[in-house]
Amino acid sequence: MSLIPEGHGLFVIDIEYTVPFEQIEPVLAPHMDFVKQCYAEGRFLVSGPKDPRTGGIVIATGPSRDEIEALMARDPFVEAGVVTVTITPFSASNRHPALA
């Protein structure tokens, strides 16, 4: 069984903090709950903070960009207005066998 369901694409989600980290911290726990739920639903494949910590990156899978945009609109970071999110669809022409 593939980690990427039939008919789903891959998306790079670039999260950029728009406020000082002190304003991110109060929303961090709800954001991490959201991230855990996305993993449980099979939507996120990998994620983590940028270095330096100016935001984060997510590799997600979904049926469409619209669905990923709707998903990310529910991220507590987005709801709190403390980040910008850029979603880039991409075609994985090469992939590890575990993702085949």
Residue-level pLDDT, tens digit, the chain, 100 residues: 577 878 889 999 999 999 999 999 999 999 999 999 999 999 999 999 999 999 999 999 999 999 999 999 999 999 999 999 999 999 888 887 876 6
pTM flag (> 0.95): no
Per the CATH hierarchy, to which homologous superfamily does domain 9-91 belong? Dimeric alpha+beta barrel (3.30.70.1060)
pLDDT at site 14? 98
Structural domain spans, the chain: 9-91
pLDDT at site 1? 52
Q: Is 27 exposed, middle or buried (0-12, 13-18, 19+ CB in 10 A)?
A: buried
Name the residue among 40, 31, 37 with its Cα closest to residue 85.
31
